[in-house]
Structure formats: structure tokens, C-alpha cells
Amino acid sequence: MHIDIAAAETTPGADLHGPPLTENLWLRRLDHVIGYIVEIPAALLVLAEIVVLLAGVVSRYVFHAPLVWSDELAGILFLWLAMLGAVVAFRRSEHMRMTAIVAMARPRIRAFLETIALVAGLIFVALMLHPAYEFATEEMFVQTPALELNNAWRAAALPVGLGLMLMIAILRLLETTDWRLTLAALALGIGAAVGLVALQPLLAGLGNLNLLLFFVLGVGVLVFSGVPIAFAFGLSTFAYVTLTTKSPSMVVVGRMDEGMSHLILLAVPLFVFLGLLIEMTGMAKAMVGFLASLLGHVRGGLHYVLVGAMYLVSGISGSKAADMAAVAPVLFPEMKARGAKEGDLVALLAATGAQTETIPPSIVLITIGSVTGVSITALFTGGMVPGLVLAVTLCALVWWRYRGEDLRHVARPSGRAIGKALVVAVPALALPFVIRFAVVEGIATATEVSTIGIVYAVLAGLLIYRQFDWRRLYPMLVMTAALSGAILLIIGAASGMAWALTQSGFSQTLAVAMKSLPGGALGFLFVSAAAFVILGSVLEGIPAIVLFGPLLFPIAKEVGVHEVHYAMVVILAMGVGLFAPPFGVGYYAACAISRIHPDAGMRPIIGYIVALLVGLLAIILVPWFSVGFL
């Protein structure tokens, strides 16, 4: 079964894909042409990154002749991949949004809010286009050290990507069927911009009160009205910098470029693609089949299998949507046949999404390492046990809920059947160990190791499982680019906002406030956990980490909290918020992937959220779970 993983992860509110569109043939043809112009290069860039990084690994480790230009070329291609991927996501309405409130509105108001979200995107890219062009022009005076290329070739990705998004936004507005909605949304957006410019003299004298105005009120209004999170961050930062500081607008583009260009973030698209590969090649199905043969005959057995399978698969893919799409279709039909209720199934699936946020190679771990400088290897090592602790608390609740399950009709597999399932699953079960061995032994970096996993998965699919659908390869590459572009644009916009907060002196004020909390290190951990549960629910995980990670990690170090321990606490707290209804977008992704209505899981998930919070409390109180194996 083919599942649009990117759409499921980023558009949780069901049918919220923009205002009603006309059937104008010429506009639709132009839209399809732009789609091909963007999607084909984006797919090729994903392939190119895999080839370049793999060539670097092979050349360095096998031939002992490092390619000095491989990282440089990968960095140039990466910015183009990020921007073209963001364009693909924009065209498909797949940028991450907070749509819980929009989904509850009446149809007319919902259509208006969808149009506002589109107009907000148009205003953002229009405002950023000229500064991006100036930034690319300035980069003409910089030459790359290894390839000796003009750096403008890399920086040009920013104005090109923004220009394409502007074209798509205009095209979407021309396609809308209700011009009154379009004109009203445009009038509101332009009126807000003109009003802020008119108020500039007043704003200049407000000092740090502008932080509340732009980054609390402004971001809050935009996010809750359904504007994509990246655009909400970008608009607020652009307005703050241009209206209340003397910094040029080009600074915002520079900070976005810096945030999106960390080479460690290249692991994001590669692990997303690896996650899609293990689902397509049948590797995930083999792992789940083996676990089911071991536990399927005990009370609540398939629920334990779901928890264990999400743990194993998360150790390969790094993408929660890919994890859920690989596991749910395999297990849910049999679980329903045994009498499990749909609501309990989707609730547990969402809870396991939160449970496995720290399992390497988690994209959130990679992001934390990128923005805070914490060792990726240390984060990968420290993330294993906290995931197990939460798995134990979830399984304890499963045992209680299913202690009376009637399994008289379920036959216990023979030892021969279990052995056969193990033989089939061994190549798949070996992949997490291959990935970890390659990092620990220095064969590849945390960024490069994904390419080894991709080659392994391709060979396993072709030679062992004989399940490799070549027709799905291109859609998977485009899906990888779109999801990665959506993630990286958020990281870029959040980096710009984090810089603005730091320049304002907010970070020093926050440091003083957090260090004066009662309870010392433990009080700091509890407050951080509560804050990230809320932030994870409203902003999703990655924006919250990028925005507040650089501010809070130095404070954690000052109050005596180990940086890896702190990372595990905030990631798991963020995961609870991300997968908890009514606002958590991860919960709606689980519903979309499992094809279960969100209302069904609202009550059952309460118990699982409590179990997760009990596990989080254990992680806070026992640092050894996070740092014991470092």
C-alpha cells in the first residue's frame, strides 16, 4: 500500500490543502510544468548527494585517498536540495503547519484562513527575494577552497528557490475560485504590513517589548491561523529586524543560509530516504514478522510488537512518519481481527512515536547536534536507553489493559516457524548494527553513514527480499526532497529568529531567570520539560529545538546538567507534546497513516501520555539512563 508519508506528517488536519481551486486548464498546465521543472532536479540532487558522500567514504576508507572536494560539493548541492525541496513542499501544500484550530472553523472561515496562509507565504517570499539576491551577489567575492568555484553558485539557490515559491503563490491565488476571499486576504496582509511600517517610530522606542510583540503575539497569531511555521518565523524575524533594529534585511537571509547549511543536516534527507527504502524493500515487514512470531500469542502481544518494532525501525530511518508507515499497515489488520479497538491502536502508535524520538539516527538528535555543538556520537549513544525506559512504561500499561485478552483462537508458533522468521529477518535486524558499527569504527561520519545504510537496503531488497519496485523510486526521491525542504526551511527561519533573540539580549535575561529557579539543576530540568511539552505541541519538535536549544544548553551546563542528559529530557518532553492531541501534529500524522479518525484515539491516548510522562520523570531523576554508556 502506497502512503504519502510527507503529506501525512505535515498536513494533519485532514483536507487542509489550501483554498478551493478553479479548473482553469492553462493555469493547471503551467502548474504541472513548474512541478516537473522543480521535482526532477530535486530528485536528482538527492541521488547526487548519496553518490558524492558514498564516494567520499569509499575513497577515504577503502583506497586511503580522501576526496578533499567531496564535502564542499555536497555542501553546494545541499543548499540547492533544501531550497528546491522547499519549493516542492510549497507547491504540494506540505509545509509543516498548526491546523488543529483551522480544522475546527466553519467552512467559510476555514477557506479564508487557508487563503491567508497562502498570502502570508507570498508576502514572505516577496520580502525575502531582494535580500536573497543581494546576499548571492555578495557571495560572488568568495571562492570555495577546494573546487575554487565562485560561491555565488551555491548562494544562488536562495533567490531561485524564493522566486519559484513566489511564482507558485501567485499561481495559487489566480487559481482560487472565490476572488472575494483572495482580495480580503491580500488586503489584510498588505494592511498589516503598511500598519507596521507606519508604527516604526513607535516600535523603535519599545526596546525588548518588541520581542513580545513580534515573537510571541506575531508568531502566535500566524501559527494558530494556519500559516506554515517556517513562514511565521520568517515573517516575524524579518519584521523585527527591519522595523526595530539597524541591521540590514540581508542579515536575515545570511542567518537562514547559515542555519540550513550545516553539513551534519545532510543526514536529514538521506535518513528520510533510507526510511522509505526499508518500507519499500520489505525489511520492516520482516522485522515485524519476527517479533510477532515471538510475542503474538501472549496477551497484548501484538501491542508489545508495535512498541518493539517502532524502536527497531527508528534505529534505521530517523523519520517518524516513515517508521509509522512501515509498521502500522503490517500489524493493524491482525490487531483489529483480534478485537483491538481502532482508537487504542492509533493512540499507541502515536505514543511510540514520542517514545522513539531519542533512538538514533533521530533527525531531532542530528538537529540538536547541529545547533548546539553537542557530539552526535554521544547523542546517538545516549539515546538508546531512554527509549527503552519509555518502552517499559508503555508496555506496563499495555499489560494492564490487555491482561484479560482472549487468545484461545490464536495458535502458538512452533520453534521451526520462529526460526524461519528469524532467518528472514536477520538481514533487516542487522542494519542498525551496521550503521552503528560504521560510526563507532570511524568508517563514516554520522552524515555519511546513511549512504552505507542506503546501499545495504538496496542490496537487501534486490538480492535477499527480492522486493524492489523501481516505479516507486522517483516518487520516493521527490518525497524525500519535499519533506527535507520543509524541515530545513524551518531550521533556517528558526535560526534567524534565534539570532534576533540573542542580539536583543534576551538570551542573557533568560539565563539569569533560569539559573535563579528554585531547586537547582532538578528545578531547571522540570521547568525545561514542561516548557518543551508545550513548545512541542505548538511549534513541533525541530523549530522548538532550533529556537531554544542554543539559548538553553549553555544554561544547563552552568547549572550542572550534562548536555546529553539535558538533550534526552527536552527531546522526550518535546515528543510528548508533538504526539499529544489536540494540538500535536504527530498525533494527526499517526491518524492519517493508520486511516483512523482522530476522535477515536482521544480518550485511549490519555493513559499512554501518562505512561510517557512517568518514563520522562525517570529519565529526569536518573541521569545514568542518558549518560551511563558514554
Q: Which of 50, 521, 499 lies closest to 241, judged by CA?
A: 499
Beta bridge partners of 143: 150
Is the pLDDT at 84 greater than 50? The verdict is yes
Is the pLDDT at 1 greater than 50? The verdict is no
| Predicted local confidence at residue 271, as pLDDT | 83
- In this prediction, residue 19 has a pLDDT band, given cuts at 50, 70 and 90, of low
DSSP assignment of 579-608, as one string? TSTTT-HHHHHHHHHHT--HHHHTTHHHHH
Return d(Cα 304, Cα 307) in angstroms, integer: 5
| Predicted local confidence at residue 21, as pLDDT | 63
| Predicted local confidence at residue 8, as pLDDT | 38
pLDDT tens per residue, range 509-523: 777 777 777 878 898
| Cell numbers found for residue 279 | 518500507
Q: Which of 499, 543, 505 lies closest to 255, judged by CA?
A: 499
| Predicted local confidence at residue 539, as pLDDT | 66
- In this prediction, residue 497 has a pLDDT band, given cuts at 50, 70 and 90, of confident
| Predicted local confidence at residue 4, as pLDDT | 37
Average of per-residue pLDDT across 87-95:
90
Question: Maximum CA pair distance of the chain?
Answer: 79
Q: Which residue has the higher pLDDT, 481 or 13?
A: 481
Q: Which residue has the higher pLDDT, 8 or 329?
A: 329
CB 149 within 8 A of CB 74: no
Return d(Cα 368, Cα 267) in angstroms, integer: 13
Residue 402's H or E segment, with its range, is: none
Q: Which of 387, 367, 166 lies closest to 271, judged by CA?
A: 367
Return d(Cα 274, Cα 121) in angstroms, integer: 30
Return d(Cα 593, Cα 323) in angstroms, integer: 10
Beta bridge partners of 176: 21
CB 352 within 8 A of CB 312: no
Q: Which residues contact 309 (CB under 8 A, 6 or more apart)?
A: 284, 287, 288, 291, 327, 330, 331
Residue 95's H or E segment, with its range, is: none
- The upper half-sphere exposure of residue 267, i.e. CA atoms within 13 Å in the direction of its Cβ, equals 30
| Predicted local confidence at residue 9, as pLDDT | 37
| Cell numbers found for residue 199 | 508604527
Return d(Cα 134, Cα 623) in angstroms, integer: 48
Return d(Cα 14, Cα 605) in angstroms, integer: 19
Q: Which residue has the higher pLDDT, 539 or 375?
A: 375
Is the pLDDT at 179 greater than 90? The verdict is no
Return d(Cα 446, Cα 253) in angstroms, integer: 27
Return d(Cα 599, Cα 586) in angstroms, integer: 14
- In this prediction, residue 158 has a pLDDT band, given cuts at 50, 70 and 90, of very high
| Predicted local confidence at residue 7, as pLDDT | 37
Average pLDDT, the chain: 85
| Predicted local confidence at residue 10, as pLDDT | 36
Q: Looking up cell 493508520, which residue turns up?
A: 594
* Burial class for 26, CB neighbours closer than 10 Å (0-12, 13-18, 19+): exposed
Q: Quick one: what percent of the chain has pLDDT higher than 90?
A: 28
Range with the poorest average pLDDT among 60-64, 336-340, 457-461, 617-621: 336-340
| Predicted local confidence at residue 3, as pLDDT | 33
Cis peptide before 582 (omega within 30 of 0): yes
Average of per-residue pLDDT across 27-43:
91
pLDDT tens per residue, range 406-440: 666 767 788 888 888 889 889 888 887 888 788 76
| Predicted local confidence at residue 568, as pLDDT | 95
Question: Buried b vs exposed e over 181-212: b needs ≥16 C-beta within 10 Å?
Answer: bbeebbeebeebeeebeeeeeebeeeeeebbe
Alpha helices, DSSP H, located in 441-584: 449-459, 473-503, 506-515, 520-539, 541-558, 563-578
| Predicted local confidence at residue 180, as pLDDT | 86
Q: Which residue has the higher pLDDT, 535 or 197?
A: 197
| Cell numbers found for residue 82 | 533544501
Average of per-residue pLDDT across 72-101:
89
Q: Is 111 helix (H, G, I), strand (E, B) or coil?
A: helix
Is the pLDDT at 322 greater than 80? The verdict is no
- The upper half-sphere exposure of residue 100, i.e. CA atoms within 13 Å in the direction of its Cβ, equals 19
| Predicted local confidence at residue 564, as pLDDT | 95
| Predicted local confidence at residue 20, as pLDDT | 62
For the full predicted model, state whether its pTM sits above 0.85.
no
Average of per-residue pLDDT across 577-590:
79
| Predicted local confidence at residue 593, as pLDDT | 76
Is the pLDDT at 165 greater than 90? The verdict is yes
Q: Looking up cell 505548538, which residue turns up?
A: 538
Is the pLDDT at 71 greater than 80? The verdict is yes
- In this prediction, residue 215 has a pLDDT band, given cuts at 50, 70 and 90, of confident
Range with the poorest average pLDDT among 31-40, 73-82, 299-308: 299-308
Q: Which residue has the higher pLDDT, 83 or 96?
A: 83
CB 355 within 8 A of CB 349: no
Is the pLDDT at 612 greater than 50? The verdict is yes
For the ranges 3-12, 133-142, 534-543, the maximum mean pLDDT occurs at 133-142
Q: Which of 181, 164, 183, 132 lies closest to 36, judged by CA?
A: 164
Q: Which of 596, 113, 519 lies closest to 329, judged by CA?
A: 596
Return d(Cα 7, Cα 10) in angstroms, integer: 5
Q: Which of 537, 541, 547, 539 lies closest to 510, judged by CA?
A: 547
